[in-house]
Each structure stands twice: as structure tokens, then as C-alpha cells.
Chain A
Amino acid sequence: MALADAHALCPDLNTRPADLAAEASALAALRRWAGRYAPMVTADGADGLIADISGVPHLFGGEAALRDDLQARLERAGLHATSAIAETRGAAYALARHGGGIVPEGKVLQGIGHLPVAALRVDFATTEALARVGLTRIADLVGLPRAPLARRFGEALCLRLDQALGQREEPLTAAPELPPFGVRMTLPEPIGLQADVMAGLTRLLERLCITLAQHHRGARRMRFELRRVDRGTVTVEIGLARPMREPKRIAALFAKGVEELDAGFGIDALRLSAPLTEPLAPEQIGGAPGGRGTIRHDDALADLLSSLGNRIGFERVLRLLPAESLIPERSFVQAAAAFSETEPCLHRGPPRPMVIFPPEPIRAALGTPPCRFRWRRMSFTTLRAAGPERITPEWWLDDPAWRSGMRDYWRIETREGPRLWLFATPQAQAGTEWYVQGEFV
């Protein structure tokens, strides 16, 4: 059903766009929580979890009690879920998606026979083909000889059927998880010197970076925790402008934080972790034409962004990116430098000033273009003028700044020196007014 149809049927319908990433992460969180019921829990499709509870139910007082416990906890957390327990993965899958329940030991067929064949994890085309010959329920299939079935609908159907009925093994494998990226070091004697802390950090960094390299990841955020002898903990946290795993360059970013920290009576344990990592493929270092030790340009820029970002906040280090618009104010956008890439600016057409600022009205403008005017309490006399460049508002947007209608832009060279970008608003209701919007260099 199309959304508009649904709205027509139910005008008060509340809708939200699906957020698949959020759903996936919520499911991952639920999976970790479900670890309390079984050692092996894994995601099953985009909407399910499956757990191998062999040997577990007696801890909860039986299968029914386990399921009740699970349902009750989920309900308390405000989640609606259907759950099923069966002796095969296929049967549990089918039942969980068609009402839920518990299939008693050895009664798989009775438990799931009434379910539609679509519950067997077969594709839509197979379901359709089965429906056309009237085989709509799992029970319809069970009695049929397997060879004709496989001949018509493929081996996959028989496999799924056998798996659901427990005639074929289907082990549960949990996907490997990333290890926690963290290392620690306990010191025999408390230390207090900055150089000692940095030496310890360097050692930890080396170990951590090796782990990162093994998993092809780079750190975007790092936390350095130092435990003082008085049981207090001080933390230094840094962000990185791009994923990174080079100990030296990361250590340099910690220097300032370490410098400022209060070691108290001494520090007896260090812990370094990378709470946020991103994939980073192995790359060749060195061997570049510049010889050993050369830092490439973008690395240097990344280091600069990292150190600036760690001081004033990454969201405050911005970069200008070109935007596709003929409106001067919208021909660029600002983006956080650490989270964007540079884009080439291919400007063609009429020249644009180096600096653009919000329009500032000028006074005592006479003529078109004005031969003399006052701006920022200074008087200017026009030497040369080029224009007009006529720009009309983007008609599909209602931009308050452009309510005065189209603008005629002029490049004005003044006797006083500044080369200014002026515009007039011939369509404005209050009559033509002049503004300065930019300055050429």
C-alpha cells in the first residue's frame, strides 16, 4: 500500500521514515542483552535474533519459564516481540514469525505443519510456484516424495524443509565481534614525571596500534586513563581528524593533555583505549619520492585539524565547500573539516569576489552604477564599473534575503582603492537600494 493511500484511509496516521541503521544497531544491542539466555546469540535476518539454548532452560526452570521470562523482560522494556522455542532452527524461525510458541520435543511437524510454506525461508518465486499447485502449508509438503519436489522447486526447498524438521543439521554460528581496543599497564612504582607518562603512553600506543593494524582499523577517538595512587582517575581524551594508527603522530596530540594533568601523589596504572574506530586499510608507508620521514600534505593537514580540533572542538574547525547555486550566498557551504573532504571548485562565468559578506546598505548612492557613495563611514568615488550581472532569486525557495527581488550586481573599482561588489534591487517595493556584498582583492 502506498503511503498516500494509507493517509487517505486514516488521515491521522503517524508516520516516520525507516531508519535502517538505527534499527540494525538496536538489534545489535538487543543481541548483546540476549547473551543472558545463551552463549551463542546471532542476528537472524533484519528483524530477528536466534539463540542456541541447549542446556540452558533448566537454569530458568524450563523452556516455558525461560520464554515467559524473556517476554516479560522485553515487555517491561517496551518492546513487542514474538518468540518461539523449537528443536530446530528452521522450526523456531517459522513459528517465531507466525505467532510464536513452543514446539514440544519430537513434535516439530505438528508444531509447524499448519504454517504457510513462506515460513520455510524460501524465496517468493518458490512460494508462488508452490501456491499455484495448491501446496500452501508446510504439512502439504511433508507427505510428498522429495525427488519430484526437488526437481520442480529446487534443492533449496528440500534443504529448508529438512532443516526445519531436523532431518539435516544446521549449526548456529555467531558472527565474530571486534575486540575491544584497549591496553593497560600497571607500574611497580608510581610515576609523576611528564616524560615518564609519555614514555608509558608510547609503549601502550605501540601495542594498541598493532592490534588496530591487525583488524584493519584506525582510531578516531582515544582515551588515556591514568590511575593515581589515591585511587582517583584522570582522563585525557583526544579526537583525530581521520582514522589513524601511527603511534608517533598520535602521541604528539596527547602531549598537551598530559602536560596539563595533575599527577597527585603519583600514577600507578595506565590504560589506553580507542572507543571509536573506523576501517583503515593497510597502506604502504615511506618509500615515497620525498624520502623517509616525509609527511604527505594531507597528513600534515590532518594533523593540523586534529590539534586544532582538540583545542577548540572539531565542530568549530570548518572548511568551505562549493555548492551548486547561482545565488552568491548559497554558492558555498561550510562543513566541519574533520568530517568532510575537499572538493575541487570549478567556477566558470562571471568573476566572484574573494570575500562575501551579508549585504551592507550604502548611503548617498547616486546614479546607476553610483559614482559616489558612503560605506562603512567612508566615502568612495567610482573609477570604473562593470555590469550589470542580473541574478534573480531561486523562485522555488522563499528566501527572506531575496524578498526584494532580482539584483543587478556591479563590480566597482574605487579611487580609494577597494574593489567592491555592489548590487541594486530594482524590483524592491521601497525603490532601488544599493548594497555592498563583497570585496575583490
Chain B
Amino acid sequence: MTHALPPYAELCVTSNFTFLTGASHPEELVTRAAELGLAAIAITDRNSVAGVVRAYSALKELARLRAESTPEGAAPPPLPKLIVGARLVLTDSAVEWLALPTDLAAWSRLTQLLSLGKRRAPKGACELTQSDLLERAEGMILIALPPDPLDDDAPKATRNTLREVARAVPGRGFLGAAPRYDGRDQARFDALARIGQGVNLPMVALGDVLMHRAARRPLADVLTCLREGCTIDTIGTRRLANGERRLKSGAEMARLFHRYPAALRRTLDIANACAFQLSELRYQYPDEAQNGEPAQDRLERLTREGLHWRYPAGPPPKIIHRVEKELTLIREVAYAPYFLTVHDIVQFARSKGILCQGRGSAANSVVCYLLGITEVPPESITLIFERFISKERGEPPDIDVDFEHERREEVIQWIYARYGRERAGLTAAVIHFRSRAAIREVGKVMGLSQDVIARLSGQIWGWSSSTPGEDRLREAGLSLADHRVQLAVRLIGEIIGFPRHLSQHVGGFVITHGRLDALCPIENAAMEDRTIIEWDKDDIDALGLLKVDILALGMLSAIRRAFGLLAEHRGQRFSLASVPPEDPAIYDMLCRADAIGVFQVESRAQLNFLPRMRPRTFYDLVCEVAIVRPGPIQGGMVHPFLNRRMGREPIEDLGPAMMEVLGRTYGVPLFQEQAMQIAVVAAGFSAAEADRLRRSLATFKRMGTIGTFRDRFISGMLARGYEADFAARCFAQIEGFGSYGFPESHAASFARLVYISAWLKCHHQAIFTCALLNSQPMGFYAPAQLVRDARDHGVEVRPVSVNHSLWDNTLEHRPDGALALRLGFRQIKGLREEDARWIVAARANGYPDVESLWRRAGVRPETLERLAEADAFAPLGLTRRDALWAAQALKAPAPLPLFGPDGEGSTEPTVSLPQMTLGQEVIEDYLSLRLSLRAHPLELLRPRLPESLPHERLTQAVGRITITGLVITRQRPGTAAGVVFLTLEDESGTANVVIWKKVYEAFRTAVIAGRLVRVTGRIERDGPVLHLIAERVEDLSSLLVTLGRPQIHDDDEGAAQGAQPSAYHRPRPTARHPREQAKKLFPSRDFH
């Protein structure tokens, strides 16, 4: 059938990587082009090549599917050829150009041209002129897209432009003609043909495609609205008149261009001339030779040195053997420079005292350990070097290194300085529309009212990517029977997953030997001094480019600070490697689930898991880190693991082959490597296939082709005699691992940080809390919980004081030798670090009053007010209000001594202000510091909550009870089928609440928005772990506001006669809704 179609190549396709314009994914366009039997399809986005790799990967996947579905021997039907290019929109000309590189050199010129335009424009824009284009047009085919000749205001200028370019690119210039279906197509083609004759640009047929099917027309209109900032009712004539800007078959194009068959034929000539393929992009990694020493030699020398300092007593023979094996393999695949790059980065960081540690699969390599990139001793875990590099796979290894989050920028700038901006760039991250943004933006376009939108999107939890269901709509006051609402919901569903803009990846660097902009365009990032390339990490993977991940880890900052404090106050010096190992006190602490602030295991799921897991060795921590992850949870691996570990269930024998893989983890696959090895051992995959399965899971999900792999995997396992149930579980886990699983080596790297942070917490609680507070924001808990945890562990916490605090939280020595934590100015909301530094610098022997601080430190009056509100003047004998009163008097930015008490002014009469109640003080503490050392709000509210049980008494409670507390964390894991977990806090402790889906649906608003909630439910015990299974959830946030009210005055005598009782009688702090205010006062941390 395909042979009967007139051949046609579509050369002008705008994908949705022309943000807010194109209405189809590159994958959809390629798939549709294949269905239509087109000879070729070019992806030409506006001043960008961001979408081409997606199309390239999709085409590869299609080829694989076709090859699979055609019988042996027969040639699979041909797929369209992919042409990469860009649609250049120039600043000085009304004519747009399609630039299609014909060879690698022309591609480099195109990317350099785009880099030039992007580097000189602000983020996201591109400024190019015609002369820029002509300078770099060699080897490119240029197709002109002039303004519509029937509506052109300046036909002469257009003609001149076309003529100039035609002269500059002889034989490679064309004039594009796209049908518009506005009744004038034939007249337009005639006019274009005439112009083409005149300027010597042959006419070529184009589709000017915006979408893969006409059904995307509504979405295209919505995108137009978003771009133009209008609503669908005011879009007017800017909408698409018809759905004809879709991919068309050759037959249809032939019908439209029946009078110009040459224009159609020319598309094939051009497609044929564009010989460049993305697979040609073979780039060179920097050679990393130093002082004439070749990279491989240098790597081997450094590795040998590593054997000496890692194993002062001489390395075990097994390790020596491994090293030799690894080095040989590295030599064969020539990846030595890559190791050296990472080594140099790590060396730089060490020289600056920046803590760093490799994560991910790199810990599978002994060489990485010997180079100091990773810290996990190779003896402690199973090493699978093939997971890291394999010859068959021909794919680059992936070394990720974590740095302190506050000092990562130094490392990034060092890389830029070392390689130059032409040679190093951060990878991009494509920001997609997620539920929340989709609802907000589409809702606005479709004319849903602001508050309905706010309500709908407010119900969305975190980064969900699903459309709002019917029940949610009803709750927002919308009816699905309404035509508009139906449309809006459909469009929201369609737009989710659309790219919105490019942002920078967290830290993936691409480094080249030659110029990076010859490989792909470079553009400015939103952050100063950063440049990013246009492709994201999947694209980089698809093209086989090497990248180094420079990641940020808050815990490393905290650990570095803690080590610093240890050295300062206790005179003990430690490094990541020298913390005493296997200390039983630490495991005791973890078994008690006393782990607030400890890396990874502080999350609520981990806290519940710790007492059941009862870790006793380092390897237990490795398992602990790996198991509480969506991969193993979705795979149903948690309960068998626990039961077998506690000996409640026998370890089933899966045969020697499987036991070798799964023996260490009681026959339960926990790690990525194990899942991959199962695919090999049990399902008969080759090692390379198994890894490809894992790596391309993301692509499979986009293309919807996971099914074939599943069938192969499960039938493979069944054929080898495994149970169907076990096979399904294994596959589910591989699916989960695609995005959420940990390799064992990575879990081990993280487990080290778990151990180190637990060691700090166990032995130096004050130092640990101080370091954590100074590294905020990070981790799972807010400062209030960290401070509370420290106090529970007997650490004295002292309030912020203008005469004692520094910007950071500090430690003070108590007479008994213990350390007390002094809160720093950084805890005060709205205080600037610079002001704090001035206050400290001008402090000398302390400030006697507010005014002296203002005079000496020269801070602005607002800063004084901030300090007063934080009660930082208390050591001066000033109450919060007195200090504020004094601060309010100082209005001018600089002191005027003439009118002060020293000058001509006189002393102010003293004023006595009303006393604050304890409740008010607590509220003010929370407002300013987000924590209070005075009292817990619940303590003050307790008399009004007689029915609620304090949390400390939960352990003795049975049956149905009621508790009340501040919501400190709120979680809805994707793995838990709509179950919500709340952690409540009261003056006596915390409590875990589990809210099943049904209860959640009934009390949704209270669960999502409540800050102070009362929960009634049943107590459930699982070993030492306590849960309250909620049956009823009430939002009591309004009670919090009453704390701040002054005592009600009963001196109403003399009040006006005939006064009616009114809500205005008692002053209200603000006119806001109590819940809104509570939200500001007692923020919770919400996770998903």
C-alpha cells in the first residue's frame, strides 16, 4: 500500500520544543510520519534543536519494534528518515529560514550559530541577524519562509532579502510554499512560484506542521493563548482557522501541489542531500594528559598510589587482581581521561576543604575507590564492574559525585575555568507541565475563575502528573456536565507532559576536547555565570556523550560543619574516612528510631522501619537505605525481607544460580544490580540487554512499548521453572528501578553518610544540631523539630541575643563542660546576613540599648524591628514590645546625633506598654523564628482540648482515642495507593497518623490544609511502632489564632449605651482567614 503513495518528505515541522507553539511531541510526530509512510521528516524548531534527540530516540525505538514484528528474513518496512535542523527567526528580517545541515561540519556551524544567538540574548531568547546566518551557511540547505505574498506589506524588501541569500548560497537555497487552506492557496503558490523564479530560489512544498493530528487543534489554540496571554474567549483571529497544519500524507500533498509536482519532488532531493545523522556525533573527550604523561599511564600511576594509601598494610590479592582487570578494560574502551577528569575535580574539592563523595554505580569500581572518588571499601559490598562499564554495551560510564550543597558552585566555576565555556556546559533539564501548572494555566485560558483554579490546583499533591478526577472537580464546585469543564479537563490531560521551558540540570556536566558548541547549542542559564546546553540527560545518554554529575548534598555541608565544630570545641579531627566504624551505640540508637536529622533514615517511613529492621552492621544500613524506596516497595519486597530477617519465614531456595545473586539479601532482590542479574540468570537476557532494559525504561514509558519486554521477561522466567507470581514481582521491581531504585554501590555510599551522621548525633548531639541548623534548608524536618529533638536529648538551647549570637548558630561552653546551642541570627525571618555581620563586628562589649546598636552597627530600622520581634534584646532587659517601641522610634536610615540625647534633643518620656501573654509570646516566637523555646502551642491550648490524649501517653493507650497536634510533616507516597501519613507534634512528643484513602476523601481539606488537627482513630501496634489509624480528622487551625489574642477585658463600663454585640469588639490580629494565618505560622513540610 505504501508504494502507491506519492513519495514526500516533510521538511518543516514545529514540535512542542518550540515552547508554547508546537502541539505535538517529537515522538508523536515521528510515529505519525511513519504511519503516513513519509520518506523523511525534519524536526525544525524555532531557533532550537532541543527536540531532535527525542525524535531520534523515538525513531530508533520504532525501528526496533518493526524489526521485532517482521518475520525473520523479511526486510522491515522502511521508516522515515530523520532530518535535524532548525527554523531560524532573525531579528532583522521578516523572512524565516529553515536551516538543514547536510553534513557534520554544517551541523557544527548551525549549533555555533544558535549558540552565538543564545549567548548574546537573555535566557530562552535568541538574537540572530541575516549576516550571522550567511557567515555560517556553508553546507546548509536554506529554505525561505517569507511572509504571505498575498498579504505582504513590503514585498520589495522581502524580494531583496531572498535575492541576497540566494546569491550567498548558490544551489542550496529554496523557497518554501505551505498550503494554508484559506481559499487562496493556488493564488499563493502562483505568487511564490513567480517570486522564486525572480530571485532564483526553486519552490519546495512544505506542510508547516504544528501537530501530528488535527485533533490537537484545541491544544494548539490553548498554547497560543498561553503565549499571547489571552483567554480562549479573547483569542479572536489568533486561533487556528482549521486543523490543516498537521502532518499530511504524500497523496494529500500531491493533490494540493498538483500544479507544481516539481515542488513535491524537490522535498525528496533535499531529504536526500541532508546526509547528516545524529549518530555521527562522535565527540572527543578531553585527553587529560598532563606534563606529557598519557592519560592511561597517569591513571595507572594514580591507581598504584591509591593502593598504597588506601591499604597501608598492603592490598589483599583479590583487590590487586580486580585492579588489573579494571585497568585493562579501561584501556580497551579508552575511558582513562574520564576517570582523570573526575579525579581532578575531586582533588580540587579536597584541596579547598569541600567534602565530596561519589555515589551511584561508580562505587562498583575499585579504581574509583583508589582514586579517592568513592569511599565505600570494596570489601564491604559485591562489586559488579560490568554494571559500571561494559565492553559490549559501548556506553559511557556514569560517575556522580556529591558535594556540599553550599560550596558546589565553587566546583562548578572551577570546571568552567579549567575547560572554558566553549568546552564545558551543564546539561539542561526540560521542565514539563505537571498537574498543578496545567490546571492553573489551562484553567485560566478556559476562563475558569481564579478561586476555582486555586482550589483545583491546591488539591494537587506535589508533582503529580494526573488529571483531576471527577470527585475533585465536584469538590471545587465544578460539574463535569458542563461543556467547558469537560474541555478543560481534556486539555489539562493533553498538556501534561508538554515541555514548558529549559532549565539547568542539577549538575550534569558535558565536557569536550574540541568546542562544545560544535556539538550542540549552548545558552545562558537563569543563574548568573552558568551556561547550559540544549539537551537533557536522556538525550545525552541517547547520543552516548559522557557526562560528569556534580551534585549537591546538604548532608555533606552539615557533616563538614560538624567536623569543624568538633575540631574547634573538642579538639577532635575527623574525616569521612576516619569516623570510628561499627560503633554498637549507634546501632542501639537507630534501633530506637531515634534518628531525627540523620541522613536518609530520618524520613517517616524509615523511622517506622528502623525498629523492625534493627540494623546491627553497616551492611544492614545499606539494605535499609535501599529497601525503603518505591522500587522495592512496588515490587512487594519489604515484608518478605523483614520476615526472613527476623526468622519468621524460611528463606526459599531458588536454586544455586539465584542464591548467588540474592543470598546476601535473604533471597529478596533489593538492589538494581540484583534485578538486572535476575534478568540474566533467570529470564535469559544477555547482560547488555538487561542493562538496556533498565536504561530505556523512560523511553518505553513515553512510547508505551513496555509490554513486549514484560512478556519476554516473564516467559523467560517461567520457562526456567520459576513461579509466575515471583516473576511478576521481579518485573515490577525492574520497572520501579527504572526511575527509583538504588544500585547496591549507591546505597552503600549513602549508608556511609547515614552512619557518619548517626555517629555525630549519637555522640555530639549539640554539634550535630548546630551543623544541621546552619545548613538549612535541607533534610526532612524544620528547625523547630531539630531544636526540639536537641532539647529532648538534654542539649540546652539558648535564645537569639544581640549580645551573644552570630549569624550562624553557635555552641557555648557550659560550666559543666557540656555544650549549649546558641541560636543565631539566621533563624530570624527576614534578617540579612550582611546586617548580622555588622551587628557582630560592632558589638565589642555588648550593646546597652537598642539605639546604641542602631548607631554602632548602622543597620536599617527595619532590621532593628526584626531583631526586636525575635526578642533578641531580651538580655538587655528589654521585653519584645519595649524593644520594638524603641526600634520604631528610629526611622531614619542613618543616625542624626544632633537630635539624640547627646545633642539638642531631650530624653523621651517613658511609656509603659501592655504586657504580653505567654500565648502571644509563643505566637510571636513562631512568627519571627518559626520555633519557640518558651512553650509548645499545644501546652497552652491543652485546657481547651480535654478530649485529646497527649502523645507521650500513646504507648499505654488502647482502642479508639483522640489526639491533637501540629502537623509537622505530611506525606503521600506514590507507592501507598492514596494513603496519607501525617506526623503530629504536641508538647510531649510526636505521633504517626495513617489516613486511608476513604477517610482522606471524606476529610480532604482538613488533611491537606490543616496545621493543627484533631484526629480520632484506632491505635495500631506493629512491634514497637505505633500508628493511629484515622477515622475522623478535624482542622482546628483557628484555635492557633486565639493564642495571640489578649485576655478579654471586662472593663466595659462606660461603653456606649445601646451598643449591639459585635464581632468587632475584640480586636483581631489581622483580617485574614485563620487557616491562612496558621499556614504562615506553623508551616508543615509536605512530601509526596
Q: A99-B1060, A100-B1059, A325-B236 are in contact. Are A398 and B889 (CB under 8 A)?
A: no
Query: Among the listed stretches B202-210, B325-333, B809-817, B908-916, which one makes contact with chain A, having 4 or more residues with CB under 8 Å of it?
Result: B908-916
Q: A8-B475, A99-B1064 are in contact. Are A395 and B1056 (CB under 8 A)?
A: no
CA distance A144 to B908 in the complex (A): 12
CB distance from A114 to the nearest CB of B (A): 6
Where chain A touches its partner, the secondary structure class is mixed
Q: From A24-32, A263-271, A298-306, A382-390, give the one contacting chain B.
A: A382-390
* Cβ-based interface call for B575 (8 A): no
Q: Does A241 contact B (CB under 8 A)?
A: no
Complex interface bits, B614-640 against A, C-beta within 8 A gives 1, otherwise 0: 000000000000000000000000000
How far is the CB of B490 from the nearest CB of chain A, in Å?
A: 10
Given contacts A140-B914, A350-B182, A388-B181, contact A4 B452 (CB under 8 A): yes
Interface residues in A107-131 by Cβ distance below 8 A to B read 107, 110-119, 128-129, 131
Q: Which of B1038-1060 contact A (CB under 8 A)?
A: 1046, 1049, 1051-1060
Q: Is B972 an interface residue (CB 8 A)?
A: no
Q: Of the listed stretches A39-47, A249-257, A335-343, A406-414, name the one at the interface; the rest are far from the partner chain.
A: A406-414
Contact A133/B885 with A101-B1058, A406-B242 known, Cβ cut-off 8 Å:
yes
A2 vs B450: C-alpha distance in the bound complex, in angstroms? 9
Q: Give a binary string over A222-265; 1 marks a CB under 8 Å from any B CB, 0 the rest.
A: 00000000000000000000000000000000000000000000
Task: Tell me which of B151, B234, B449 contacts A348 (CB under 8 A).
Answer: B151
B476 in contact (CB, < 8 A): yes
Q: A396 touching B232 by the CB < 8 A rule?
A: yes
> B911 contacts which chain A residues (CB < 8 A)?
144-145, 148
Residues of B within 8 A of A4 (CB): 449, 451-452, 454-455, 476-477
A107 to B1053, CA, bound (A): 12
Chain A residue with minimal CB distance to B917? A134
B1070: Cβ under 8 A from any A Cβ:
yes
**B241 contact set on A, CB distance < 8 A:** 326, 389-392
Q: A66 interface residue, CB < 8 Å from B?
A: no
| Interface contact A100-B239, CB-CB below 8 Å | no
Please count how many residues in chain A sit with their CB below 8 Å of the partner chain's CB atoms: 70
Question: Is residue B944 contacting chain A, with contact meaning CB distance below 8 A?
Answer: no
Among B234, B240, B911, max chain A CB count under 10 A is at: B911
- The reply on A147 being an interface residue by CB < 8 A is yes
B909 near A84 with CB under 8 A, answer no
Across the interface, name the chain A residue whose C-beta is closest to B476.
A4
**Interface pair A98/B1064, CB less than 8 Å apart:** yes
Partner pick for A84 among B869, B1052, B1056, CB 8 A cutoff: B1056
**Quick check: B1056 and A2 within 8 Å, CB to CB?**
no
B1062 at the interface (CB under 8 A from A): yes
A5-B451 in contact (CB<8A) = yes
Determine which residue in A97, A99, A107, A129 has the highest number of CB atoms from chain B within 10 A of its CB, and name it: A99
Complex interface: chain A residues within 8 A of B233 (CB): 396
- In the assembled complex, how far is the CB of residue A286 from the closest CB belonging to chain B, in whole angstroms? 40
Instruction: Out of A1, A7, A132, A409, name the residue touching B884 (CB < 8 Å).
Output: A132
Chain B residues numbered 854-901 whose CB sits less than 8 Å from any CB in chain A: 869, 881, 884-885, 888-889, 891
Complex contacts, A101 vs chain B, CB 8 Å: 1055-1060
CA distance A325 to B915 in the complex (A): 66
Please, how many residues of chain B have a CB less than 8 angstroms from a CB on the other chain?
A: 71
Shortest CB-to-CB span from A48 to chain B, Å, is 14
Q: What A residues does B183 contact at CB under 8 A?
A: 350, 386-389, 409-411
CB pair B1073–A1 under 8 Å, yes or no, is: yes
Q: Is the CB of B1067 within 8 A of A116?
A: yes
Closest to A101 in B: B1056
Q: Is the CB of B151 within 8 A of A114?
A: no
Q: Is A62 an interface residue (CB 8 A)?
A: no
- B357-372 vs A, Cβ < 8 Å mask (1 yes, 0 no): 0000000000000000
Closest to B214 in A: A392
Given contacts A8-B475, A99-B1061, A113-B1054, is CB(A326)–CB(B1005) below 8 Å?
A: no
Task: Please tell me if B76 contacts chain A, counting CB pairs below 8 Å.
Answer: no
The answer to whether the Cβ of A82 comes within 8 Å of any Cβ in the partner chain is yes
Residues of B close to A345: CB separation below 8 A: none
Which residue of A7, A64, A147, A391 contacts B242 across the interface (Cβ within 8 Å)? A391
- The answer to whether the Cβ of B243 comes within 8 Å of any Cβ in the partner chain is yes
Q: Which residues of chain B have C-beta atoms less than 8 A from A100's C-beta?
A: 1056, 1058-1060
Are A136 and B1064 closer than 8 Å at their CB atoms? Answer: no
Task: Indicate whether A353 reaches chain B with its CB closer than 8 angstroms.
Answer: no
Known: A113-B1054, A326-B239. A3 touches B483 (CB 8 A): no
Knowing A5-B455, A103-B1056 touch, does A131 contact B1069 (C-beta < 8 A)? yes
Tell me the nearest residue of chain B to A152, going by C-beta: B888
In the complex, A137 has a CB within 8 A of chain B:
yes
Is the Cβ of B881 less than 8 Å from the Cβ of A134? yes
| B418 at interface by CB-CB < 8 Å | no
Report B-chain residues with C-beta under 8 Å of the C-beta of A151.
889, 891, 908
Whether A135 sits at the interface, judged by CB under 8 Å, is yes
Q: How far is the CB of B430 from chain A (nearest CB, A)?
A: 28
Tell me whether A3 and B182 are in contact (CB under 8 A).
no
A95 interface residue (CB < 8 Å to B): yes
Known: A389-B183, A395-B217. A147 touches B1055 (CB 8 A): no
Q: In the bound complex, do residue B909 and residue A145 qualify as a contact, i.e. CB atoms below 8 Å apart?
A: yes
* Nearest A residue (CB) for B234: A324
Docked CA distance A97–B243 (Å): 60
A324 with B236: CB separation less than 8 A: yes
Instruction: Give B208-223 as 1s and 0s: 1 = Cβ < 8 Å from A's Cβ atoms.
Output: 0000000001100100
A147 CA to B909 CA in the complex, in Å? 9
B1080 in the interface (beta carbon within 8 A):
no
Q: List the A side residues contacting B1073 at CB < 8 Å.
A: 1, 5
* CB-CB under 8 A for A390 and B242, given A4-B477, A409-B183: yes
- B881 & A110 in contact (Cβ 8 Å cutoff): no
Contact of B987 with A by CB under 8 A: no
When C-beta atoms are compared, the residue in chain B nearest to A331 turns out to be B237
Q: Are the C-beta atoms of B881 and A111 separated by less than 8 Å?
A: no
B884: chain A residues at CB < 8 Å are 132-133
The residue on B at minimum CB distance from A421 is B183
The reply on B1088 being an interface residue by CB < 8 A is no
**Distance between Cα atoms of A348 and B538 in the complex (Å):** 45
Question: Which residues of A have CB within 8 Å of B1051?
Answer: 114
Knowing A325-B236, A388-B181, say if A136 contacts B477 (CB, 8 Å): no
- Would A136 and B1046 be within 8 Å (CB), given that A325-B237, A386-B183, A409-B183 are in contact? yes
CB contacts (< 8 Å) of A137 on chain B: these are 1049, 1067
Contact indicator A392/B1046 (Cβ below 8 Å): no
Q: Is the CB of B908 within 8 A of A147?
A: yes
Bound Cα distance from A411 to B888, whole angstroms: 77
Contact A152/B487 with A4-B452, A114-B1065 known, Cβ cut-off 8 Å: no
B184 contacts chain A at the CB level, 8 A cutoff: yes
Q: A102-B1058, A111-B1056, A114-B1052 in contact; A8/B1064 too (CB < 8 A)?
A: no
B61 in the interface (beta carbon within 8 A): no
Please state if A97 and B1064 are interface contacts (CB–CB under 8 Å). Answer: yes
Closest to B454 in A: A2
Least Cβ–Cβ distance between A104 and chain B, in angstroms: 7
Question: In the complex where A133-B913, A389-B181, A391-B241 touch, is A396 in contact with B1061 (Cβ < 8 A)?
Answer: no
Q: Does A394 reach chain B (CB closer than 8 Å)?
A: yes
Q: Is B446 at the interface (CB under 8 A from chain A)?
A: yes
Q: Would you mind naming 6 contact pairs between A and B with Cβ atoms under 8 Å apart?
A: A111-B1056, A117-B1067, A323-B236, A324-B236, A326-B239, A395-B218
10 nearest A-B pairs in the assembled complex, by CB-CB distance: A324-B236, A389-B183, A110-B1054, A101-B1056, A116-B1067, A2-B451, A152-B888, A4-B451, A134-B914, A390-B242
**Which chain A residues have a beta carbon within 8 Å of chain B's beta carbons?**
1-5, 7-8, 64, 67, 82, 84, 95, 97-104, 107, 110-119, 128-129, 131-137, 140, 144-145, 147-148, 151-153, 323-326, 348-350, 386-392, 394-396, 398, 406, 409-411
Knowing that A8-B455, A114-B1055, A118-B1067 touch, tell me 10 more A-B residue pairs with CB under 8 angstroms: A5-B1073, A99-B1064, A101-B1057, A132-B881, A133-B913, A151-B889, A324-B236, A350-B184, A388-B183, A396-B233
